[in-house]
Amino acid sequence: MTHSTMADVSPAELVADALVRWGDPELAPEGVVVGPTTDAQQQGGVITLSAAGLPLMEKYAPLQWMRCQIRCLAGTLDTAENMSQGVYRDLNGRHRLRCRMKSTDSWYLIHLTNVTAGPSMHYDSPETWETLLFAEILLSTDAVGAIGAA
Residues 90-113 pLDDT 10s: 999 998 999 999 999 999 999 999
pTM, entire model: 0.85
How confident is the model over 137-147, as a mean pLDDT? 81
Q: For residues 6 and 64, is the Cβ–Cβ distance under 8 A?
A: yes
Least confident of 46-50, 55-59, 75-79, 91-95: 55-59
What ranges make up the beta strands (E) of the chain? 32-34, 46-51, 56-57, 63-74, 97-101, 106-123, 129-140
Architecture category of domain 6-36+44-96+106-131 in CATH: 2-Layer Sandwich (3.30)
Contact 137, 113 (CB under 8 A): yes
Q: What are the residue ranges spanned by the domains of the chain?
A: 6-36+44-96+106-131
Contact between residue 110 and residue 92 where contact means Cβ atoms under 8 Å apart: no
Residue 37 has pLDDT above 50, yes or no: yes
Residue 11 parent element (H or E):
helix 11-22
Give me the torsion for CA of 59, 65, 112, 121, rounded to 10°. 170
